[in-house]
Amino acid sequence: LKMELALHKAIEQDQLLLYYQPKINLHTGEIVGVEALIRWEHPELGLVSPGTFIPIAEESGLIIPIGEWVLNAACQQNKTWQQQGFSTVMSVNISAIQFNQFNLINTITTALEKVGLEPQYLEIEITESMTADIERTIFMLQQLKKLGVRISIDDFGTGFSSLSYLKNFPVDTLKIDQSFVSELRNNPNDETIVKTIISMAHNLSLNVVAEGIETKEQLVFLQQHLCDEGQGFFLSKALTANELEEKRFDIQ
């Protein structure tokens, strides 16, 4: 409860901020996107990770105003970068509670319109576990598609949904969960799973991203097996907007 009150204050007192983890094209080395990752600059605790406060935000319903703040801040930052000549796709994580609100479509539309960002520069990350109600998921994804934003399935391979949904969901990208990537070169089963996800994605004309790349060996494996894009500490951790602006010249 104490944390919940503090989180209320965080919204009012501007203690939330976004970090940005680059997403790299594994063929060219270019930064093709960034994932917005929220942080909480707590006056006493310092930087609090979303793993700690997102669950509390979800239980208390505060995830709705927080999620709205994230969408607004992410769109605004991307528009600013675009005006500076840095064209990139901004990915935003959406929690199940947000995804279950029909109002999400309005919130996203408003965030885009406020700053005049074109929808194809925003990507919404959902997880498989949010897609249990198939009818509803298809409805929501179609609304998002109509709006023109990109859709990606995060933590792919860890959910319980049937693969058959992939052909009915209008998604653009699969993000291979980091638990598979971390075992590349150690566990042949994980290597098989990763190769299979890459070829399945390509056969379905989907873009495929590997997350959690931590070593050169993992990167090389993914390049050899034609994974399109990658994210992870070996490439770059999440950065502040200023750090990213400097870094993009090194990487590109």
Give residues in contact with ligand G (CB under 6 A): 21, 37-38, 49-51, 54, 70, 93, 95, 154-155, 178, 211-214, 231-233, 238
Report how many helices (DSSP H) and strands (DSSP E) the chain contains, helices first: 11, 9
- In whole angstroms, the minimum distance from the beta carbon of 154 to ligand G comes to 5
Q: Which stretch binds Mn ion (CB under 5 A): 51-59, 128-136, 154-162, 194-202?
A: 154-162
Q: Applying CB under 5 A, what is the total number of residues that bind Na ion?
A: 2
By the rule CB under 5 A, 155 interacts with Na ion: yes
Residue 27, judged by CB atoms within 10 A of its CB (0-12, 13-18, 19+), counts as: exposed
Q: In the range 180-219, which residues lie near Mn ion by CB under 5 A?
A: none
CA atoms of 56 and 107, how far apart (whole Å): 21
Q: Give whichever of 26 and 54 is closer to ligand G, judged by the CB atom.
A: 54
Say which residue the tokens 């976004």 belong to: 18
Contact flag: residue 128 with Mn ion (CB under 5 A): no
Residue number with CB closer to ligand G (23 or 79):
23
Between 78 and 95, whose beta carbon lies closer to ligand G?
95
How many alpha carbons lie under 13 Å from residue 120 in its C-beta half-sphere?
2
229 makes contact with Mn ion (CB under 5 A): no
CB distance 236 to 17 below 8 Å: no
Min dist CB 87 to ligand G, Å, is: 22
As to burial, measured by CB atoms within 10 angstroms (0-12 exposed, 13-18 middle, 19+ buried), residue 60 is middle
Contact stretch for Na ion (CB under 5 A) within 92-100, 154-162, 190-198, 226-234: 154-162
Choosing among Mn ion, Na ion, ligand G, none, which partner's interface includes residue 233 (Cβ < 5 to 8 Å by kind)? ligand G
Q: Which of 68, 128, 154, 190 binds Mn ion (CB under 5 A)?
A: 154
- Tell me which residues in 195-224 interact with Na ion (CB under 5 A): none
- What residues contact residue 170 under an 8 Å CB cut-off, 6+ apart? 141, 142, 145, 151
User: How far apart (Å, rounded) are the C-alpha atoms in residues 179 and 66?
Assistant: 27
Give me the least distance between CB of 168 and ligand G, in Å please: 23
Taken in order 48, 50, 51, 52, is the CA torsion positive or negative?
positive
Based on CB atoms, which residue is closest to Mn ion, 125 or 229?
125
